[in-house]
Amino acid sequence: MRTPWRAVATRGRATVAGLRRTWRRSLQVRVVSITLVTSSLLVGGFAYLVADNITNILLNNAKADVRERLESGQVYAASQLDTHTQPYESGVQRTFESTVDYLAGGDPKQIGGAVVALTADGSTSIKTVTSPAAEVQPMISPELREKIAQGKVAHQIRTGDLGRGRLKYLVYGSPVPSRLGQVQLYYFVPLDRQDQTAAQARSTVLVTGIALVLLLGLLSALVTRLVVNPVRGAARTAQRLSAGLLDQRMAVNGEDDLALLAASFNQMATSLQSQILRLEEMSRLQRRFTSDVSHELRTPLTTVRMAADLIFAERDEFDPAVARSAELLQAELDRFESLLTDLLEISRFDAGFAVLDAEPTDLVPVVQRVVDRLDCLASRVGVPLELHLPDAPVIAEVDPRRVERILRNLVGNAVEHGEGRPVEVTLAADETAVAITVRDRGVGLKPGEEKLVFNRFWRADPSRARQTGGTGLGLSISAEDARLHGGWLEAWGAPGQGAQFRLTLPARAGDRLTSSPLRLVPADAALAIEGGARRPGGALAIGPAPVMGEDARAEV
């Protein structure tokens, strides 16, 4: 028995979820629904007021008519009973009957007329007289009888059977001046016609109201459709434009505001298309220029390099000034050659010619080799290098040349910006990924700079004295190398707390990353944040759009 109920509950939840989704996504559904609910409330309230007023008017008219008949009947009954002085006279009963017959209209059994009753209390010989003959005593409540006994004219609405079935009656009573004791005159007027008229009025108002609500719903749907369709068309056109279909345009119909919106949208799309095409052409020319210049400079650079090597080899035989110039020439040629190499690498990335030569590689010696090569530079600037490597090999399917280049750029930048404080290099791995972090405690990154560090030729502080003579393309190339692996290259930094870069690569080539074995935000900085300090920095991930795991979500 649980399974059917559970299935019904599941379908019910799915239906509710579908309705909620439709409510959130469809402007037309919201407008039509709100219009229907509002108009239903207004029309329902109006219909209730109209039906109530009609009922009151019919009842008041019936009361006025009965009151008028009651007054004339009271006078007539008093004049007829004035001929008797004692309730035991022989003609009293006949007088009662003739009076009731006259007041009832002459036909005691008429269907549409009122029932008339004369009652006399205090004598057993005079009974209640009605036209047509029926039992009216249950229709007269003690409260009504008491008010009439006090000399008042009173009325009430009662339901009973007076020979025509069970109907609702307007009961009006009045005392009749007489020497026979307490005589009371009652009129029982059926309200079936009034009820039928009121029911017909309510039905008419209800049907009219329902038709009006449906008409308002239809009109709101049509009007909303006139507005929503162009908006949906604009949304579809914008999606196609964002997908690269720059020739998509909206249809312009008429000269109204929506047509003006469509025309303005098309003008904007045309302007964006021309701007994008112009920028694409400029970018293409720029990439081609960079590639051509890089290749063209290779030949003269080779010649100049050969001459410079000869001069540099014989510098000991020159005077000190010329020897120093030879050393400067050699250093600048090294820097120039490094710039050309980076430009050629960037041009290969831009052209889509970069290829990943992945192979199973132990990253422990790769990290150790990079740190050893930069140890002389770190010693010269007074920055200690600290390595945290696992004891076991860390095997991953990577391109060792590109990974080494990434690490060389990261560690070199950390040494340059370390401000004489230690730089920590950490390697860790789990079942799906490997990660390397490079942490310095130098000047750090200002808010927003973590979004700029991977831009080409960007420097955090161009006025700083550089130790490594970089080209400004190292982090850009590193980001492209990480993306080529399907990995992440992320940056975190805060003024006064230094910076940390994290490289995360999949352990098997082609796998998708979901988390990283190492934190992006350093533990000491995370403790400061948890202590209540607002982090004045940020983090940025470079690579494929990550599906962040629990660890990564907590860090970035």
Q: What is the pLDDT of residues 60-92, one digit of tens each?
A: 888 888 888 888 888 888 888 777 777 677 777
**49 and 177, same domain (yes or no):** yes
**300 and 212, same domain (yes or no):** no
Two tokens, residue 196: 């039928």
Q: Contact 325/308 with Cβ under 8 angstroms?
A: no
The confidence score (pLDDT) of residue 407 equals 93
Is residue 184 in some structural domain? yes
In order of 100, 161, 172, 188, the CA distances from 105 in angstroms are 9, 20, 17, 13
Is residue 312 in some structural domain? yes
Based on the structure, what is the number of domains in the chain? 3
How far is residue 46's CA from residue 33's CA, in Å, rounded to a whole number? Answer: 20
In order of 390, 483, 487, 507, the CA distances from 511 in angstroms are 23, 13, 9, 8
Its domain, for residue 67, covers 10-229
Q: Contact 145/156 with Cβ under 8 angstroms?
A: no
Is residue 236 in some structural domain? no
Is residue 15 in some structural domain? yes
Q: Which residues pair with 532 in a beta bridge?
A: none
**158 and 33, same domain (yes or no):** yes
Single-letter code of the amino acid located at 116: V
**406 and 515, same domain (yes or no):** yes
**319 and 368, same domain (yes or no):** no
Q: For 428-441, give the secondary structure using H, E and C.
A: EECCCEEEEEEEEC
**91 and 221, same domain (yes or no):** yes
The confidence score (pLDDT) of residue 438 equals 94
pTM for the model stands at: 0.47
**430 and 311, same domain (yes or no):** no
Longest Cα separation, the chain: 170
Query: How many Cα atoms sit within 13 Å of 104 on the Cβ side?
Result: 25
How far is residue 39's CA from residue 51's CA, in Å, rounded to a whole number? Answer: 18
How far is residue 293's CA from residue 240's CA, in Å, rounded to a whole number? Answer: 37
Quick one: which H or E segment has residue 129?
strand 129-131
Is residue 3 in some structural domain? no
Is residue 21 in some structural domain? yes
Instruction: State whether residue 397 is helix, strand or coil.
Output: strand
**130 and 36, same domain (yes or no):** yes
How far is residue 527's CA from residue 120's CA, in Å, rounded to a whole number? Answer: 102
Q: Which residues pair with 157 in a beta bridge?
A: 170
Two tokens, residue 63: 């009361």
Q: What CATH number corresponds to the domain at position 271?
A: 1.10.287.130
**291 and 402, same domain (yes or no):** no
Q: Contact 39/212 with Cβ under 8 angstroms?
A: yes
**266 and 412, same domain (yes or no):** no
**165 and 257, same domain (yes or no):** no
Is residue 74 in some structural domain? yes
The confidence score (pLDDT) of residue 121 equals 62
Instruction: Tell me which residues of the chain have a pLDDT lower than 50.
Output: 1, 107-112, 122-127, 133, 464-469, 532-537, 545-556
Q: Contact 465/483 with Cβ under 8 angstroms?
A: no
Is residue 240 in some structural domain? no
Q: Mean pLDDT of all residues in the chain?
A: 79
| Helices 27-81, 2-25: inter-axial angle, 10-degree rounding | 100
**198 and 311, same domain (yes or no):** no
The confidence score (pLDDT) of residue 527 equals 58
Domain boundary among 229, 264, 279: 229
